[in-house]
Amino acid sequence: MTVSLEAGASASRCTTSPVAGRNRCQRLWILWLRLDRWVLLVVGVSLLLALPVLTVFLTALQPVGPVWRHLADTVLADYVRNSLVLMLGVGVGTLLIGVPAAWLTSIHDFPGRRLFEWALLLPMAIPAYIIAYTYTGLLDFAGPVQTALRESFGWNRQDYWFPEIRSLPGAVIMLALVLYPYVYLLARAAFLEQSVAVLEVSRSLGAGPWRRFYAVSLPMARPALIAGVSLVQMEALADYGTVQYFGVSTFTTGLFRVWYGMNDSTAAAQLAGLLMLFVFALLAFERLSRRLARFHHTGNRPVRLARLALRGGGRWWATVACLLPLLFGFLLPAGQLAVWAFRTAPHMVDGRFWSLLTHSLSLALGAALLILTLALLLGYGHRLRPQTLVRGAVRTAGLGYAVPGAVVAIGVMLPLAAIDRSVDGWARQWLGWSTGLLLSGTVTALLFAYCTRFLPVALHSVEAGLSRIRPSMDDAARALGSTPREVLWRVHIPMLRGSLLAAVLLVFVDVLKELPATLILRPFNFNTLAVRTYELASDERLADSAGFALAVVLAGIGPVILLSRAIGRARPDHDAVP
Instruction: Find, among 448, 474, 459, the residue nearest to 394 by Cα.
Output: 459
- The band of 23, judged by pLDDT with boundaries at 50, 70 and 90, is low
Instruction: Assess contact for 382 and 391: CB atoms under 8 A.
Output: yes
Q: Is residue 170 one of the residues assigned to a domain?
A: no
Between 281 and 2, the more confident residue is 281
Is residue 141's pLDDT more than 50? yes
CA distances from 342 to 133, 346, 347, 355 (A): 17, 8, 10, 20
Distance, in Å, from the CA atom of 487 to the CA atom of 475, rounded to the nearest integer, reads 10
Is residue 82's pLDDT more than 70? yes
Instruction: Assess contact for 288 and 223: CB atoms under 8 A.
Output: no
Average pLDDT over residues 460-475: 81
Q: Is residue 9 one of the residues assigned to a domain?
A: yes
DSSP 8-state assignment for residue 64: P
Distance, in Å, from the CA atom of 263 to the CA atom of 497, rounded to the nearest integer, reads 46
Distance, in Å, from the CA atom of 76 to the CA atom of 81, rounded to the nearest integer, reads 9
Write down the pLDDT at residue 492. Answer: 82
Per-residue pLDDT tens for 110-126?
A: 899 889 988 998 998 88
Distance, in Å, from the CA atom of 207 to the CA atom of 352, rounded to the nearest integer, reads 62
- The band of 308, judged by pLDDT with boundaries at 50, 70 and 90, is confident
Tell me the helix, strand and coil percentages in the chain, rounded to 5: 80, 0, 20
Write down the pLDDT at residue 576. Answer: 36
Between 374 and 185, the more confident residue is 374
Write down the pLDDT at residue 6. Answer: 40
Q: Is residue 438 one of the residues assigned to a domain?
A: no
Is residue 296's pLDDT more than 70? no
Task: Give 364's contacts (C-beta < 8 A, 6+ positions apart).
Answer: 507, 508, 509, 511, 512, 555
Q: Is residue 259 one of the residues assigned to a domain?
A: no
Q: Is residue 29 one of the residues assigned to a domain?
A: yes
Mean pLDDT of the residues in the chain: 81
Q: Is residue 441 one of the residues assigned to a domain?
A: no
Q: Is residue 20 one of the residues assigned to a domain?
A: yes
Write down the pLDDT at residue 493. Answer: 85
Q: What is the CA radius of gyration of the chain?
A: 27
Q: Burial of 571 by CB count in 10 Å (0-12 exposed, 13-18 middle, 19+ buried)?
A: middle
- The band of 574, judged by pLDDT with boundaries at 50, 70 and 90, is very low
- The band of 199, judged by pLDDT with boundaries at 50, 70 and 90, is low
| CA angle at 127 for the pair 126 and 131, rounded to the nearest 5° | 75
Write down the pLDDT at residue 132. Answer: 92
- Structural domain span for residue 11: 1-35
Write down the pLDDT at residue 192. Answer: 75
What percent of the chain is predicted at pLDDT more than 70?
Answer: 83
Distance, in Å, from the CA atom of 557 to the CA atom of 338, rounded to the nearest integer, reads 15
Distance, in Å, from the CA atom of 507 to the CA atom of 514, rounded to the nearest integer, reads 10
Average pLDDT over residues 160-180: 92
Strands 108-109 and 575-577: unpaired
Distance, in Å, from the CA atom of 215 to the CA atom of 157, rounded to the nearest integer, reads 49
Per-residue pLDDT tens for 319-361?
A: 999 999 999 999 999 999 999 998 888 777 777 888 888 899 8
- Plot region of 540 (φ>0 → left; ψ -120 to 50 → alpha; else → beta): left
Distance, in Å, from the CA atom of 104 to the CA atom of 123, rounded to the nearest integer, reads 18
Indicate the pTM of the whole model: 0.82
Write down the pLDDT at residue 328. Answer: 95
Half-sphere exposure for 545 (CA within 13 Å, toward CB):
24
Q: Is residue 80 one of the residues assigned to a domain?
A: no
DSSP 3-state assignment of 205? Answer: coil
> Which residue type sits at 487?
V
Bridge partners for 309 per DSSP: 109
Write down the pLDDT at residue 31. Answer: 52
Window from 40-54, 201-215, 239-253 with minimum mean pLDDT: 201-215
Domain count, the chain: 1
Instruction: Assess contact for 518 and 552: CB atoms under 8 A.
Output: no
CA distances from 491 to 234, 469, 553 (A): 37, 10, 36
What DSSP letter does each residue of 233-301 carry, written as one string?
HHHHHH--HHHHHHT---HHHHHHIIIIIS--HHHHHHHHHHHHHHHHHHHHHHHHHHHH------SPP
Is residue 447's pLDDT more than 90? yes
What percent of the chain is predicted at pLDDT more than 90?
Answer: 23
